[in-house]
């Protein structure tokens, strides 16, 4: 068994929260959970942007001093620009030691914060809000809104608003030509500050929304590519299944013939006769499975007929009874209404059967299959009392060739059982002195799998409109945790309209 996360719990069936539960991507309870725009900018991009800013600041100071002969605090301005140069040289040295092409959100926030402070000090030395270049304070906030998570982008915006307020009250006079002094009225400076406030908020919100739309498109493209890749894998597995059904037909017929001969040659009621009968039963089941794999259902086939929800669950678990496990089937409906009739889709039958088989493999004594019917959905959950999902495979659950079954265990157990049967059927063979007969190891229904079952089951179930979730079972303290896999469909996807 494997999958992704716990579904939201219906009000009619409260449960304890699972440690595997995560927020759904389209639900964010507060601003702290706003979707991330990206992971920031790369260090190389930040270095290039700062060199451009340094070049522009240096050119502006040089032209104002040498061409217009403005009375600037030249050494103070050069010191502030030199601080930015030192910051960039340090970043360049770091760029040579690390891979600067990877984005880093915290580093981006730190560099943008430095740029805001550096520009604010430079503006304070050259007139504050009277300086027309104060408009450049909008740039770092726009970059932050487009590339950083909400909390960091909001902090950058707050930093610019604080800098704007400070520049309104504390700044040196605006440099002007010698012998003249330009003092703008406070009301005009207030208007400049208000315009900066408005510009910061508007441009940040605009950049945020544009980045959010771009992120949604990127996510949709990635999801589409993932679904397409899974469909391609499933198509390849379908061809492999058809070839396997053809190739396995002959050896399976041979097994049945030999098993029938063993059954006729064995004493009635003996252990050998029971083993031969079990082999025949399982071989017949394999033949039915191969037959279903090799045929294409036609329109109007009984496989697409309607069936009661509980009857569907009984059909799913019926092939897995008989392995010393207690299978429990339960259907819960809202307000005690009768269980709906649903479509008997082969994808649902096969997918749920795989989930039940996986639960039977790992269960200790009990497997529960429960259907929960609410006003808007139908949910079917499979819960076992086994050890639960290993933590090391949780991030890769649902991928092909991912399994936690011990490889080769079934083959070793089968060899031990065959050896024990041969020894019991050969009374003339003497055992070594002091050698105890090995106790045959019980074989679970399908140990030693390749990890394809759940991948195929999830793809088939999602193709019918269901969403698959995973979590811990109902095991209490001191008991095996167990595992729980649930599939949820909108009611119209499964229910037959009355």
Q: Do 196 and 165 contact (CB within 8 A), yes or no?
A: no
| pLDDT band at residue 117 using 50, 70 and 90 as cut-offs | very high
Residue 24's pLDDT is: 35
- The pLDDT of 213-218, averaged and rounded, is 75
What's the pLDDT at 2?
Answer: 37
Q: Which residue has the higher pLDDT, 385 or 428?
A: 385
Rounded mean pLDDT, 370-393 = 86
Answer with the residue of higher pLDDT: 182 or 349.
349
- The closest alpha carbon to 234, from 396, 448, 458, 465, belongs to 458
Burial zone of 85 (CB within 10 Å; 0-12 exposed, 13-18 middle, 19+ buried): middle
pLDDT at 415 > cutoff 60: no
pLDDT value, residue 274: 86
Q: Which of 130-139, 142-151, 291-300 has the lowest average pLDDT?
A: 291-300
Written as six digits, the tokens of 372 are 């929960």
| pLDDT (tens digit per residue) in 27-68 | 333 333 334 445 678 888 889 999 999 999 999 999 988 888
Show the tokens assigned to 398.
């649902």
Q: What is the pLDDT of residues 83-98, one digit of tens each?
A: 999 999 998 888 888 7
Mean pLDDT across the chain: 76
Predicted confidence band of residue 21 (pLDDT cuts 50, 70, 90): very low
Q: What pLDDT is stored for residue 25 in this prediction? A: 36
Q: For residue 248, is pLDDT > 90?
A: no
Mean local confidence (pLDDT), 141-168 = 90
- Is pLDDT at 362 greater than 70 in this prediction? yes
Task: Select the more confidently predicted residue: 344 or 177.
Answer: 344
Q: Which residue shows structure tokens 């605090």? A: 73
Quick one: pLDDT at residue 294?
66
Q: What mean pLDDT do residues 294-323 have?
A: 71
Q: What is the pTM of this model?
A: 0.44
Which range is most confident: 221-225, 241-245, 311-315?
311-315
227-243 tens-digit pLDDT: 557 656 766 766 677 77
Position 410 confidence tier, pLDDT thresholds 50, 70, 90: very low
Confidence of residue 487 (pLDDT cuts 50, 70, 90): very high
CB 2 within 8 A of CB 397: yes
Residue 267: pLDDT over 50: yes
Share above pLDDT 70 across residues of the chain, in percent, rounded to a whole number = 71
pLDDT at 404: 63
- The whole-number average pLDDT for the span 6-29 is 36
**Where is average pLDDT lowest: 33-42, 274-283, 300-309?**
33-42
* Predicted pLDDT at 286: 85
pLDDT band per the 50, 70, 90 thresholds, residue 319:
confident
pLDDT at residue 7 is higher than 50: no
Helices (H) and strands (E) in the chain, counts: 12, 7
- Asked if residue 413 lies in contact with residue 443, where contact means CB atoms within 8 angstroms, the answer is yes
* Mean pLDDT of the region 74-85: 93
**Does residue 393 or residue 165 have the better pLDDT?**
165
Band of the pLDDT at 454, cuts 50, 70, 90? confident
Strands 326-333 and 366-373: what pairing?
parallel
| pLDDT surpasses 60 at 15 | no
Sign of CA dihedral 156, 160, 161, 165: positive
Residue 119 has pLDDT above 90, yes or no: yes
Q: Do residues 320 and 360 touch, judged by C-beta distance below 8 A?
A: yes
Please name the residue that has the structure tokens 């109007």.
Answer: 300
Two tokens, residue 7: 């579904």
**pLDDT single digits (tens) 155-202:** 999 999 999 999 999 888 888 877 777 778 889 889 998 999 999 999
For the ranges 61-70, 368-377, 422-431, 480-489, the lowest mean pLDDT is seen at 422-431
Between CA 423 and CA 130 the distance in angstroms is 101
């Amino acid at each position: 068994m494997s999958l992704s996360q716990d579904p939201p719990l219906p009000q009619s069936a409260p449960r304890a929260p699972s440690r595997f539960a995560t927020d759904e991507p389209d639900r964010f309870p507060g601003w702290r959970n706003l979707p991330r725009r990206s992971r920031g900018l790369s260090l190389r991009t930040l270095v290039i942007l700062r060199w451009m800013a340094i070049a522009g600041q240096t050119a502006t100071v040089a032209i104002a001093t040498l061409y217009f002969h403005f009375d600037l605090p030249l050494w103070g301005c050069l010191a502030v620009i030199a601080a930015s140069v030192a910051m960039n040289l340090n970043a360049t040295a770091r760029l040579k030691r690390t891979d600067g092409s990877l984005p880093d959100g915290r580093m981006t926030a730190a560099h943008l914060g430095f740029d805001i402070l550096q520009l604010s000090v430079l503006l304070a030395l050259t007139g504050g809000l009277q300086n027309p270049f104060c408009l450049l304070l909008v740039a770092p906030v726009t970059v932050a809104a487009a590339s950083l998570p909400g909390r960091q982008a909001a902090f950058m915006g707050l930093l610019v608003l604080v800098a704007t307020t400070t520049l309104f009250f504390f700044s040196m006079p605006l440099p002007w030509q010698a012998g003249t002094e330009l003092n703008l009225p406070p009301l005009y400076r207030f208007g400049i500050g208000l315009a900066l406030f408005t510009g910061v908020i508007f441009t940040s919100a605009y950049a945020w929304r544009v980045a959010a739309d771009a992120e949604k498109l990127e996510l949709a493209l990635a999801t589409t590519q993932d679904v397409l890749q899974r469909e391609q894998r499933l198509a390849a597995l379908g061809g492999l299944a058809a070839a396997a059904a053809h190739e396995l037909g002959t050896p399976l017929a041979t097994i049945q013939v030999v098993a029938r001969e063993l059954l006729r040659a064995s004493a009635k009621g003996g252990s050998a006769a029971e083993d031969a009968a079990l082999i025949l039963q399982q071989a017949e089941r394999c033949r039915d499975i191969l037959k279903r794999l090799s045929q294409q259902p036609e329109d109007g086939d009984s496989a697409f007929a309607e069936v009661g929800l509980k009857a569907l669950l009984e059909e799913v678990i019926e092939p897995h009874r008989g392995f010393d496990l207690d299978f429990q089937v339960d259907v819960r409906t809202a307000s005690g209404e009768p269980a709906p009739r649903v479509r008997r889709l082969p994808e649902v039958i096969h997918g749920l059967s795989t989930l039940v088989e996986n639960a039977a493999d790992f269960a200790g004594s009990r497997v529960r299959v429960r259907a929960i019917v609410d006003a808007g959905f139908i949910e079917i959950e499979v819960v076992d009392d086994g050890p639960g999902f290993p933590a090391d495979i949780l991030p890769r659950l649902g991928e092909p060739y991912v399994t936690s079954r011990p490889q080769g265990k079934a083959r070793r157990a089968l060899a031990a059982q065959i050896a024990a049967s041969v020894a019991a059927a050969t009374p003339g063979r003497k055992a070594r002195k002091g050698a105890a007969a090995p106790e045959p190891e019980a074989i679970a229904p399908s140990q030693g799998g390749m990890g394809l079952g759940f991948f195929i089951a999830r793809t088939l179930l999602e193709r019918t409109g269901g969403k698959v979730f995973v979590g811990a079972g109902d095991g209490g303290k001191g008991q095996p945790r167990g595992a729980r896999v649930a599939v949820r469909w909108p009611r119209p996807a499964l229910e037959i309209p009355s």
